[in-house]
Amino acid sequence: MNANGKPGGVWTSLMVASAVGAVVGAGLALLFAPLSGRESRDWIARRTRDLTERVGGSGDAVKNGVIPS
């Protein structure tokens, strides 16, 4: 309970505001997206694959104690 005797508080308000912001942001992203759905999915898949490969390589280098420059 907060000072007014009502349930919730700052954290509840923050979580609700974050959720509303995420929904509004996702909606705007869909409205203003420069690519079609298929192109967007392909781009996301390609970028995710590239990032996974780069991070995987970095993880192996750190594990072995060698970081490429």
Question: What number is the average pLDDT over the span 36-40?
Answer: 87
Q: Is the pTM of this model over 0.85?
A: no
How sure is the predictor about 42, in pLDDT bands with cuts at 50, 70 and 90? very high
Domain limits of the chain? 1-32, 35-64
Closest CA to 10 of 18, 21, 25: 18
> Cα(69)–Cα(53) distance, rounded to whole angstroms?
17
Mean pLDDT of the chain: 80
Q: Which pLDDT does position 23 carry in this prediction?
A: 92
Q: What pLDDT does residue 40 have?
A: 85
Each residue's pLDDT tens digit, 2-29: 556 666 688 888 999 999 999 999 888 8
Bin 42: left if φ > 0, else alpha if -120 < ψ < 50, else beta. alpha
